[in-house]
Amino acid sequence: MANIETDRSPHAERPQLDIPTLIDQQVKLTEEYDPHVLKGKLRNALNEMPYLTRPQRKGINEALTVAEHAHKHHRRKLSQAPYITHPLIVTLGVIEIGGKDTVSPDTIKATLLHDTWEDNPAEVNEEKLRDQFGEDVAYIVKAVTHTRNGRTLDKATEYYPGIKQADQERPELYIAELKTADRLNNLLDTRIVPVNRKWIPTQQKQQQARDIFESAVRDTEQSLIPNALSHRPDLQAILIEGIERARHALQRDETIVFQNSSNSIVEK
């Protein structure tokens, strides 16, 4: 797929986005299920963003701490990796897509926190996010939260159009980039199949991965892209490339198998 020149630049001129290289990076990150390794990669990425002040870096660390606590009992549905690996990978993706010179610290904090309200509403809600991290972080997290206060938004008429509206109203917050990186990781994560003491991956489990993948593809192509990303052909191209990469791996049975001995998990 050809490189696509992005067209927004709230902070500085954005670099040309090399989509195949981005997908390669995300594939490698998805195969990494050790949160400590991913936190090290995030730390390295932040070190390449010299405009971040000490208080801003402290705020990012606080957001990571809240996210780790909110997801401490959660695991990824297929890979069974600690759930915190997902927001870490998505954050690295947002930094790469948006550019290290343009992504704001509030966007980084919100990306780390993007599933906390939906997945742990007993501990995290809009008011708490606003009080601890400010209006912009709460605005971003709310925009990408599908279930709010016990009510699940209709994707086609509420949730995805709301993401588009929020992105158009506040383009400097990179809300569409966050949703793109989120969906990309979910698509690529279907390549990961675990082994633990209770069961071994079988043809049935691999078929489950394919079914989850195809469901995500349908939602991406029929709802997410037309309703949330119709104004962003650059981000559409990322997801199209990600779909093709994951589909190719699944068709060739290029699943990644890793050992996981955890017994107390909550599937996500």
Task: Report the distance separating Cα 124 and Cα 140, nearest Å.
Answer: 14
pLDDT for 11 beyond 50:
no
Lowest mean pLDDT among 46-60, 197-211, 219-233: 197-211
pLDDT for 3 beyond 80:
no
Percent pLDDT > 70 in the chain is: 83
Q: For residue 259, what are the β-bridge partners?
A: 195
Q: Where do the structural domains in the chain lie, given as residue ranges?
A: 19-267
Across the range 252-264, mean pLDDT stands at: 47
**Any idea which residue has 């490698």 for tokens?**
28
pLDDT of residue 221: 97
pLDDT of residue 202: 62
Closest among 69, 180, 67 to 113, alpha carbons compared: 67
Q: What is the DSSP string of the chain?
A: ---B-----SSSPPPPB-HHHHHHHHHHHHT---HHHHHHHHHHHHHT-TT--HHHHHHHHHHHHHHHHHTTTEE-TTT--BTTHHHHHHHHHHHHHH-TTT--HHHHHHHHTTTHHHH-TTT--HHHHHHHH-HHHHHHHHHT-SEETTEEPPIIIIIHHHHHHHHHH-GGG-HHHHHHHHHHHHHHGGGEEEE-SS----HHHHHHHHHHHHHHHHHIIIIIHHHHSTT-HHHHHHHHHHHHHHHHHHHTT--EEEE----S-EE-
Are 152 and 131 in contact by the 8 Å Cβ rule? The answer is no
Task: Report the distance separating Cα 8 and Cα 171, nearest Å.
Answer: 8
Report residue 21 CA to chain centroid gap.
17
Q: What CATH number does the domain located at 19-267 have? A: 1.10.3210.10
Across the range 203-227, mean pLDDT stands at: 89
Torsion, Cα of 157, 163, 169, 173 (10° steps): 180
pLDDT tens readout for residues 128-148: 999 999 999 999 999 999 999
Give the residue, 27 or 166, on which the prediction is more confident.
166
pLDDT for 241 beyond 80:
yes
pLDDT of residue 187: 92
pLDDT tens readout for residues 162-177: 999 999 999 999 999 9
